[in-house]
Amino acid sequence: MTTVLPAFAEGGRFYKGNIHTHSTRSDGALPPEEVIRRYRSAGYDFLSLTDHFMERFGFPITDTRDLRSDGFTTIIGAEIHAPRTQMSELWHLVAAGLPLDFTPPSPEETGPELARRAHEAGAFVGIAHPAWYQLSLDDAETLVEHTHAVEVYNHGCQVMHDRGDGAYLLDGLADRGHRINTYACDDAHFKAPDFGGGWVMVKAEANTPEALLASLKAGTYYSSQGPEIHAVEIADDGLRVECSPAVRILVNGRGYQNSFIGGTGISHATLPLEKLEGSPWIRVIVVDETGRRAWTNPFWF
């Protein structure tokens, strides 16, 4: 029996996009028109411009509908905030697919309450750059009922703070039984070399906001800094992966459980799963010769 991971099943095609970035509507350096021009020129298919939904910026939800064009679309969104976590004054949540009339939070609204309200409004809700502000596993657990994913990689936080990796939180939540996905992003503010370092490859039937959001919520996508993942399936002889040339392919599971293969120019591999026996979930990481990675969402048996 063979099981194909959802993002690599038949139907649709992959669209490249970024769902966390900023403009002059909040604390970014470039106006929305230039931000979108740069992503479109770089070969992206879509963008969610997620300016900080905060009082000091006038609670912006940047309307990018007029900036859509043939072959390039946008998803309305924002980075939303409420007090407070164990280690920080504010929660940081990405909400792609917010309505333009989303109501600003009240002073009493908590992060989990804000996540629930954004989720109920139809947004794909992500836990943003957890390592950057030292988000604890206990705090994250208060969000999981109304969030879809954890940022596994935030390029801006990596470039400027060396805190771009959210795998600790993703795997910690999975080990506690929470079925949550993951995504990579830029979080570009264009004040540093924070553009084009992390993205999602979304399998959808069309490059429309509705189709892309449905696929994001369903988890039919993978994330990357550069490597491409063409196929992942679980068969009797192990986990089969097809990808662009890689030097390492890893399969992580609960705790320290792991399967690994290394070499030069690996594009097809079958990894044994005996060392992952008993893990309720697995996820695949592909690493190229420059150290750039690609990640699947966790797959639950």
Q: What is the pLDDT of residues 189-209, one digit of tens each?
A: 999 999 999 999 999 999 999
75: which residues sit within 8 A by CB, 6+ positions away? 17, 19, 46, 47, 48, 96, 97, 209, 212, 213
- Rounded average pLDDT over 83-109: 97
In which residue ranges of the chain is CATH 3.20.20.140 found?
A: 7-224
For residue 75, CA distances in Å to 33, 144, 147 come to 14, 22, 17
**pTM attached to this predicted model:** 0.98
In which residue ranges of the chain is CATH 2.60.40 found?
A: 229-300
- Residue 273 CB: number of other CB atoms within 10 A? 18
What pLDDT score does 1 carry? 83
Q: What is the CATH class of 7-224?
A: alpha beta
- Nearest Cα neighbor of 234 from 143, 296, 154 is 296
- Rounded average pLDDT over 81-92: 96
Alpha helices in the chain (DSSP H): 32-41, 111-120, 137-141, 155-161, 167-175, 209-218
- Contact indicator for 251, 283 with CB cutoff of 8 Å: yes
CA-CA distance, 4 to 61, in Å (whole number)? 37
- Contact indicator for 227, 246 with CB cutoff of 8 Å: yes
What pLDDT score does 184 carry? 99
Which tokens belong to 294?
């690609």
- Nearest Cα neighbor of 203 from 54, 5, 13 is 13
- Rounded average pLDDT over 220-244: 98
Cβ-count burial of 113 within 10 angstroms (0-12 exposed, 13-18 middle, 19+ buried)?
A: middle
Above 90 in pLDDT, residue 82? yes
Architecture in CATH of 229-300: Sandwich (2.60)
**Tokens 């490249």 belong to which residue?**
16
For 253-273, how does the pLDDT look when each residue is reduced to its tens digit (9 = 90+)?
A: 999 999 999 999 999 999 999
